Structure 1
Amino acid sequence: MKLNSPLRRAATVLAGALIGLTGLTVAGSPASAHDTTVRGVASCDTATGTRYVTWTLTNDWPADATVSDLKTTPNAVDGLQNGTVIDKATEQYGHKQDGEKVVVQKITDNAATKATVSFKSRWSVDGYEDEQNEGSADLTGPCAPAETPCVRPGDAKFTHTFAVKEDGSTATVTLGEGIKLCQDEPVTLVSYFAPKPQFSVPQYKYDSDTGVITNAKRSVDLAVDVPKCNTQVDLFFGGEDDIIGEITEGGKRYGDRKLGSGGGLGARSKGPQGWFNGGSKGCQTPAVEPLSQCDGTVAINLSNDGLTDKYPIDFTVKAGEFSKTVTVTKGKGETVTVPAGSGSITVSAPGMKDVVYDWAPPADCALPGVVVENDCDTVTVTVENPEGVRPVTARITYGDTVEDVTVASGKSEKVSFKRGDDTYATIEFPDLDVEPIKATLGEVDCDNGGGGGGDSNGGDSDEPGLPVTGPVAGGIAGVAVLLLIAGGVFFFLARRRKVTFTA
């Protein structure tokens, strides 16, 4: 049956309306799809040869999403863990903008070929949780540090330390960061004997230590002993073949190769001055031993017992108009004889306090002898000075008369007095440390024609009294059968001392 035309048109309109309403209902219902994604992009730091992956996590729903069930390979990702929030999507100017979370993963396993990140997201606003999301990045591409060009020796840069102590010297030299050497760089620390605590020559090598800085070994530590006397220590660019064994006047020098110099190769290293001069005493040891001799001379014994056999000592001996300089090498000795009567002696040498000495009589020198003779008219005193001793002055007193006489070595001198009432004569030696001698005269019988009692002629002799001798102490040396003399003194001292010096 056919519907009439108006009814047909009405049915058609109603059906279209129903279809339209159904479409509106579908379009207006909320979408059930919540979605997050992850994408990784690998990169390489060519300065260090390190790989990185930049991960971008997106959220297309207008509510924050929270990360859960996180897994990463080959290592963790800084800033990404369970609980990390991915910002919600937003709409700006009619356009939807997904929310993002960007994190960077530093790859610590150089052997890894792939990096991955997987996780689930949960939206707290409606409790929806999506399926596992996973992203990956390829790590098989080349990643090596860029080749650093090497530098010529003059362009290299270093740093250093340098110290000198009583027990030794140390230094550390280090190649600058990021510098590649075109050739190895030797550096040496060396110590010397020195004649003075300031720079002076000649100097002689004591100890050395050499190290070589390479691209693989970028730092060296050096250490040397220093002598227990004046020294110089140098830290310089160079090897064992560049060490100067003996620094002499006008000879080779390390110059601006010393580290810490203001210019030249040494200026390439930043740090303290790499050189030192100092010390508390000389490397040679002068010694002086003055010895007085019986003849008035002084034997000056000179010796050198230093730490090095390289340094001789110049000694200068002066006394009045006398002056002499002698050179003494290590382990040797020299003797300078200062003439008698020269006066005060001064001995000088570098690094030594002057030695001042005056002659003093030795204790074992032979002493002078005295002989006293007398008769009725005269008293005669004879002073005898032994060989090998200095001249001696005797002061002879008889009664009120005093006579001084100087007797040369090996000689004798006589002094005569007119006989008086005094029965003794006194003999003094002002320059000698001895007691005065009181010599008793011999008995003479002047009232009986000059005869003396007790002589061998039975007392009738008119011979003068015999000589009287005796020791300084005044004891009787001997008695003759016909002894007519009651006193006298004779000096005697054992052999003269002779001083010699043997190296």
Structure 2
Amino acid sequence: MNLLKSPLRRTSAITAGALIGLAGVVAFAAPASAHHPIVDGVSSCVNEDGTWQVTWKVANSEYDLVGKVTDVVLTPADSTITGITAEAPLPVAGNGTLEGVQTLPATAESASIAVTAEWQRDQLITATREAERPVQKPTDKCHPTPNPSSTGPSTPTDEPSTPTDEPSTPSEEPSTPSEPTPSGSTSVPPAPTKEPEFVHDQDCDSLTVGITVPADWPEDIEVTFKPSTGESKTVVGKRGETTTAEFPASKGLKIKATPKGYEDEAATITYKQPADCDSSGGGAGDEPSLPLTGAAAGGIAAGAGVLLAAGVALFFVRTSRGGPSAARRSLKDGRH
């Protein structure tokens, strides 16, 4: 079973401090549910008439909630299936799978099924998943089951058989029947305990976005962050780490996060200016600062007074150096 296509989990509000030491509220556009059926199939051999079969297993993505199959679509349409039908329960993850056998005509070269299931949590959740890839028609021929050989009548002999005095001794150790090995069986790797999550942080000057990938996730995840203004940035989220990208803050900024291979789980993160940003700070298109009044204005006035007193002092020093005549000229110039 391939778990690499399990969808990412998205949250409509994340406290990023618990994930990457950041804080804030993220707004996601139409978050998708992580509930989904997991479909996997294995083909059998080809019968003498060319027909063949596929054994399908449908698992549940949820560990705490039983799902219910609501619809099954077969490809090709003229095939049939048993075991996987509408109203069939979908066991919780780790507690078994729903199994069925699809029988295909000789003309079919591949087979696939799409399963729709629903879960009732806070609200009714419905999700459809198709087999990740169609199962191709096998080339191996089925071996016909041999008919039991019939025992013909014994041929009489000329000499009668001689009875023995000792009864036959049965074998001391009974033969142990060998257990049949199912053909096409595959080992199922354990499902990850958590799913990747988008995270973010914002301040007056920047919006930081990123993704946290659990250590037991089967692969790194490449994410492209595309802002509503400016250049896109692409990061590779490493397993067991949180990887981020930073963008300059601006009013109305929105960033679309698209994980490669999980495009249907894209999310939009909207910048929301923190309440403690002052009007003189930049980063989010704030209004220009207002004129200074009160204590700030008084401080400026006091500084101006000091500069005026210094100017008067320099005037007297200059006139005293030029003597009385220089002082008189200065006063006379002042009257004109």
TM-score under structure 2 normalisation?
Answer: 0.32
Q: Which has the bigger relative contact order, CA under 8 A and spacing at least 6?
A: 2
* Greater Cα radius of gyration, structure 1 or 2: 1
